[in-house]
Amino acid sequence: MIKIAPSILSADYVNLQRDIEKVDKGGAELLHIDIMDGAFVPALSYGPGWVKAIKPITNLTLDVHMMVQNPERYVDDFADAGADIIGVHTEATPHIHRALQMIKNRNVKAEVVINPGTPVAAITPVLYMVDQVLVMTVNPGFGGQKFLPETVKKIAELDQIKKEQGLNFDIEIDGGVNETTVVGAYKAGATVAVAGSYIFDADDPVSRINALKDATK
């Protein structure tokens, strides 16, 4: 069964605590927090203050996805705020190894992220040091986009490398996840599924968490 990380990007910000409690009680394992800087991606979302505010109201693993140019600048701020996992895009810095080292030095779980147009080969040198790899299944920047099926072979490739090299990082997918698209990704080796609109646009978010779990039994 896949672990579920609801993305608060699609939650009701005015009732954020209510929405977080709903998915927390409803069986999610992580809470996905999308940080957008208006440069790496066009949109702006929120910063470390939100992570700090959310930290005391939930026991969910806070999974911070930094869609930020030169993320090294803010790693310490998100670690201070209480992030449990910090994800940095390899496309966003010439120094991905250093960025991951910075995260690990703060005893936070380190995640490397690849866009749909980036091959697995771009991150093989750093796989030994990460706790999680995020394979973007849409181009980052917005919720509610369509899952790109061609990304699934990269999940299989990463799963293969895990086995060959005896590594045990989680493989997370993000973008366009629903009870249909999650199946192929899970079979290819995905262990964590982010879902935003699929969960929070529903009348009953918990039924959607259950549907994702049921589809990956």
- Cite the annotated binding site for a divalent metal cation by residue number: 32, 34, 65, 174
Q: Are 194 and 87 in contact (CB under 8 A)?
A: no
Q: Tell which one of 48, 71, 87, 143 touches ligand DX5 (CB under 6 A).
A: 143
Helix %, strand %, coil % for the chain, to 5? 45, 20, 35
Angle, in degrees to the nearest 10, between helices 181-188 and 205-215:
40
With contacts defined by CB under 6 A, name the span among 100-108, 116-124, 170-178, 209-217 that binds ligand DX5.
170-178
Q: Tell which one of 10, 90, 151, 181 touches ligand DX5 (CB under 6 A).
A: 10
Closer to ligand DX5 by Cβ: residue 65 or 162:
65
Interface with ligand DX5, residue 116, by CB under 6 A:
no
The β-bridge partners of 154 are none
Residue 174 is among the residues annotated as catalytic for this protein: yes
**Which residues are part of a known binding site?**
7, 32, 34, 65, 141-144, 174-176, 196-197
**Which residues are part of a known binding site for substrate?**
7, 65, 141-144, 174-176, 196-197
Query: Under rule CB under 5 A, how many of the chain's residues touch Zn ion?
Result: 3
Interface with ligand DX5, residue 32, by CB under 6 A:
yes
Interface with ligand DX5, residue 87, by CB under 6 A:
no
Residue 34 is among the residues annotated as catalytic for this protein: yes
Closer to ligand DX5 by Cβ: residue 82 or 141:
141
Phi, psi dihedral angles at 111 (to 5 degrees): -125, 135
Interface with Zn ion, residue 111, by CB under 5 A:
no
For the chain, give me the number of helices (H) and strands (E)?
8, 8
Token pair listed for 171: 């493989």
CA distances from 208 to 22, 123, 152 (A): 12, 32, 22
Interface with Zn ion, residue 34, by CB under 5 A:
yes
Q: Which residue out of 19, 34, 63, 131 is catalytically annotated?
A: 34
Angle, in degrees to the nearest 10, between helices 181-188 and 152-165:
20
Angle, in degrees to the nearest 10, between helices 205-215 and 16-25:
40
Task: Please report, as ranges, the residues that interact with ligand DX5 according to CB under 6 A.
Answer: 7, 9-10, 32, 34, 65, 138, 140-145, 174-177, 194-198
Q: Give catalytic residue positions.
A: 34, 174
